A and B are shown apart, each in its own frame.
Chain A
């Protein structure tokens, strides 16, 4: 036996902890560095998010660090060259920042909204939002409007928390999990960890998705739904629950507005609003007193069902009555929904009843004492162990807001909201419904906004429109087009700015957003728009600034490029003021800090933001004497306070680092985070972990920590008065702003509803569905993050070309063969793609991986790379505006009419075989040029952090040791 050599020289290695940023899941990583090279990136097993595991992307961090596409220095478009040609000349940081701050200064002094600042898949909205607020432009938003605002809004207007990053299934206790339209999501690792727990404990996993790959592969039951019909499916299950008298009566009475009374005066002002007393308290019918009482009191016995006449003579009904009347109707019976959803009636009924069984016959009881908001003590916590999670399969449809509400409604009926085994909130959620912030409406020179650019309207008064009802924001968020667009509408910015609709802008800053390619709808035309000039030969978007770390497709369109660092090279915070890394049972936030020194002339965007804020003398960044408050980003994070004691990082506050959640700035806060492996975890006591909408101890903590503004209980809104107010405005029955255009009136009356509705996705109402018979959707591949990872030498080996996947039997019936090329055509254009046949796809659906297709030459890829020669983008087919019909709706965004959520997955297409000389991807675009400083991408890679260690076996070993069979002989 020869001994094994010493393989790793640990003495030469250093271990550092930070946060992964190969995607937005924000896992903790443990990085082994040797010789200023990364030896190994592994999951941090103490980290709340990933508990030691790491996904494929996270494991490929080394190759991101090696990427030939990394930008090297600040650059400006070469004078005399055209925008989009990708001709750049390097400039110094001083020059770059001087140019930019001079320009911004002028805008700020005159008309601040002429700066539009939009950010993509970043995790620093707390900072960029603050920056925009301080600058004084409401033309700011992050990517949420094209990403998943429907999920956020659907939840925040219903339960006070949401799917997306605001809640999690109780994976440890759930016995039944329904996953709606999720391929990967932001909780990439947590969902995988959770699904395994569920399966190991014998729970059932049901996946609702037109495609069976990824998570759906391991589903115990796959429901291959037709895209865009989930709302109807959910409401049909609700119908079954009602029919069989299966709902959580106690829960509905205690924690929701199900017992509140709704005024029933159709055609009159006030119709559909909650009956309130003078003080504004919602009224319920008290069964013992047989009288109307304030429904926010406790120890009353309100009627769940019933119709009454209010003291003022108006007829009223309980919310639950309205709900039951609506969903008991035949149109929601499984037999009647089957044709639309494609789900057999038997299955819809059985799934609903299975959930009822698990919720009500397998209830969990935990001996946890807790106190409710009214000070009453309880000695037990009850759990309905049915959980759900939903994401972009729901969100990316124009009916997604309503569908999301319908799914939450199912959970509410089952009583599985923030209870053991159900859907749990993650601090700082839940919040009051909706959160109390309203979008800023006014911009004035040299003045910060009065409130943040984004917020939560509850009535037409909150819209960001002028007196004539026209949009004020460049993306037309919070206008009649999409009143509740909480996250803005980034997908409309380029189109609107180029059309000067509502007005022209001066400077557009894109940070971390590939808006000329995969992150935009209608890619080819958007590229043209970015290049378009007015009659004077000036660019319609006069100045375009791009902050990117890599030579993406977007970079070529920049007038000024500010190169960022990689995630291993910078300080960063994942802040409690944003969407932190909390777990249901613990509040948590985290940081990044430099693991490697950048070898290029690049600066973190965080530093650039703070620097610009200082130069422009934003009040929050400037001392009374006019000097700078913060020397750099680190200093800013330590010392900035949003309100006394509340800053970007919630842990290790106070002079001694001992105050958590709230406390004075701690000059050694960064050091404390670094020492604690890059994160801070504040465990909630068992009595603070459930029913947090009405949990005294939790809400007091939440108020202390600044997560909520008041400790009042949060009443779950089955019935959304916000929705009704906008509907009334559409009906002309609202005391306050009302739309003047017929199309807006129609949209408000049709698509707003206080109880969830299902309607056909909008695109489908404006095209000939017989002509475009296929639904076309995308999925996130688990091993790629949007456009980022085609530059990753390891990840692109897994997939460098995407295909159009279609149901095998369907394809065969059309004579379409595996690997053949076809034309895919929508109302907005056509592309040529290669087909792969698959069993696991609903027959009328086709799909592909998102963002694999690349522009030739981008991302450090060679011109012959598969991504550009054979891969494709579905985006060309998707229009940012609704299909043209020659009516006023032609110019309305292709988005959810409630939230402005981009309706990516409403797309319908037709498929025709391509000709024999059409065997490649189309369209093709000009080659993206390398930028200064980039070196030629290598033809071979042999990455290693240290030399391989020889096994050094001696000759005797070689001669005598072969297989085990040898030994046995």
Chain B
């Protein structure tokens, strides 16, 4: 698949935003970790909502007909993209009530704000899940059509959110071993899952040029696509990254998205000033951008079979 930069940035940034929001609510309402100052709460909240909003705005970037974007709420019934849009929007009023509570009441929010916060946190996860399902539900792309896809989206969102949470906390001098520990655990799970994913997609399954053309008993080769130049289909699905590039980038993903932040938090645990969490955040975001790019670049749509690929 052609990796659209706006989509990559959208999913990475808003994913981290949702993750950050989830951790904020969890630490705040469930009372995990140290008590946060009013300022820190606001900082987390603003950052989370900011990332989410910027991400969502970016997501319309790839729409060819933006004036109809509002219509994307219409097919909640069947479309994960519609659901994502609905949940993403639904998230805002609850997040707003919670945010208002925090703004007005500080750490000790009232029950309304607390319940709203909890609902918003659930919606954040549901939105992440929906985003994952946008890709996960496509039978046309075997690299995506797996439960690992939404799991990845959620875990990477939450893990990068955890890194961001720790980084912001460090500014308020409030980053604790708890922050680091949670981040390390989430990063580890996400990393392992990503590893499983890469292994899983390396096993070739699904339709082949034979089932695509219905000729199952001999080698089938493309003679001519029927058009000299590229088409929408070749532009959209014809992307080929090359194995060398993807292998290198995969190392980069593990190094930047998981390795570096885990090391950073390990360092923090062993006494290095918590402010280095920002380094972890930069690495994690860069790594996840790579991960997202690969997610698209390695996805091979079945239409490619008609353009000559033997399998996807």
Contacts and interface: CB of A to CB of B under 8 A. Distances in A.
Contact between A and B in the complex (any CB pair below 8 Å): yes
Interface of A: 213, 796-801, 838-840, 866, 958-959, 962-963, 965-966
Interface in B220-240: 221, 223, 226-229
Contact of A797 (B74, B221, B223, B228): B228
Nearest to B76: A959
Interface in B198-243: 221, 223, 226-229
Contacts, number: 31
Given A838-B223, A839-B221, A801 B78 contact: no
Interface residues of B, number: 11
User: Which of B221, B226, B228: most chain A Cβ within 10 A?
Assistant: B228
A950 to B, nearest CB: 14
Nearest to A801: B228
B75 interface: yes
B78 A798 contact: no
Contacts of A958: 71, 74-75
Interface string B277-290: 00000000000000
Nearest to A960: B77
Contacts of B227: 797-799
Nearest to A217: B223
B74 A959 contact: yes
A866 B229 contact: yes
Contact of A798 (B71, B74, B75, B228): B228
Given A838-B223, A839-B221, A800 B78 contact: no
Given A838-B223, A839-B221, A797 B229 contact: yes
B229 to A, nearest CB: 7
Given A958-B74, A962-B78, A963-B78, A798 B229 contact: no
Contacts of A840: 223
A213 B71 CA distance: 47
A840 B222 CA distance: 12
Contacts of A866: 228-229
Contact of B78 (A796, A839, A966): A966
Interface string B58-80: 00000000000001001101100
B75 A962 contact: yes
A798 B226 contact: yes
B8 to A, nearest CB: 29
Nearest to B228: A800
Contacts of B71: 958
B77 A966 contact: yes
A962 B77 contact: yes
27 contacts: A213-B223, A796-B228, A797-B228, A798-B226, A798-B227, A798-B228, A799-B227, A799-B228, A800-B229, A801-B228, A838-B223, A839-B221, A840-B223, A866-B228, A958-B71, A958-B74, A958-B75, A959-B74, A959-B75, A959-B77, A962-B75, A962-B77, A962-B78, A963-B78, A965-B78, A966-B77, A966-B78
A324 to B, nearest CB: 44
Contacts of A962: 75, 77-78
Given A800-B228, A800-B229, A840-B223, 13 more contacts: A796-B228, A797-B227, A798-B228, A799-B227, A801-B228, A839-B221, A866-B228, A866-B229, A959-B74, A959-B75, A962-B78, A965-B78, A966-B77
Nearest to B79: A962
Interface centre among B71, B223, B226 (most CB of A within 10 A): B223
Contacts of A798: 226-228
Contacts of A801: 228
Contacts of B75: 958-959, 962
Q: Which of A801, A866, A962 has most chain B Cβ within 10 Å?
A: A962
The majority secondary structure among interface residues of chain B is loop
Contacts of A959: 74-75, 77
A782 to B, nearest CB: 11
A962 to B, nearest CB: 5
A224 to B, nearest CB: 15
A213 B223 CA distance: 10
A798 B229 CA distance: 8
Interface string B18-42: 0000000000000000000000000
Nearest to A965: B78
Contacts of B223: 213, 838, 840
A787 B178 CA distance: 76
A799 B78 CA distance: 40
Contacts of A965: 78
Contacts of A839: 221
B146 to A, nearest CB: 22
Nearest to A840: B223
Can you list the 6 inter-chain pairs with the closest CB atoms, starting with the nearest? Answer: A800-B228, A962-B78, A801-B228, A958-B74, A799-B228, A797-B227
Contacts of B77: 959, 962, 966
Contacts of A799: 227-228
A966 B77 CA distance: 9
A866 B229 CA distance: 9
A842 to B, nearest CB: 16
Nearest to A871: B228
Nearest to A867: B228
A801 B228 CA distance: 6
A808 to B, nearest CB: 8
B219 to A, nearest CB: 9
A963 B75 CA distance: 11
A598 to B, nearest CB: 31
A966 B75 CA distance: 11
A119 to B, nearest CB: 31
Nearest to B71: A958
Interface string B235-253: 0000000000000000000
A786 B78 CA distance: 51
A841 B71 CA distance: 53
A965 B79 CA distance: 13
A790 to B, nearest CB: 11
A800 B230 CA distance: 12
Contacts of A963: 78
A213 B226 CA distance: 13
Nearest to A212: B223
B234 to A, nearest CB: 13
Nearest to A870: B228
Contacts of A800: 228-229
Nearest to A866: B228
Contacts of A796: 228
Nearest to A838: B223
B105 to A, nearest CB: 40
A58 B312 CA distance: 38
Contacts of B78: 962-963, 965-966
Contacts of A966: 77-78
B226 to A, nearest CB: 6
A839 B215 CA distance: 16
B22 to A, nearest CB: 31
B41 to A, nearest CB: 40
A405 B52 CA distance: 81
Interface in B75-116: 75, 77-78
A800 B78 CA distance: 42
Nearest to A800: B228
B180 to A, nearest CB: 47
Nearest to B223: A838
Contacts of A838: 223
Contacts of B226: 798
A923 B227 CA distance: 24
A965 B75 CA distance: 13
A801 B229 CA distance: 9
Nearest to A958: B74
Contacts of B228: 796-801, 866
A623 B227 CA distance: 57
A838 B221 CA distance: 9
A838 B308 CA distance: 13
Nearest to B74: A958
Contacts of B74: 958-959
A633 B251 CA distance: 78
A797 B228 CA distance: 6
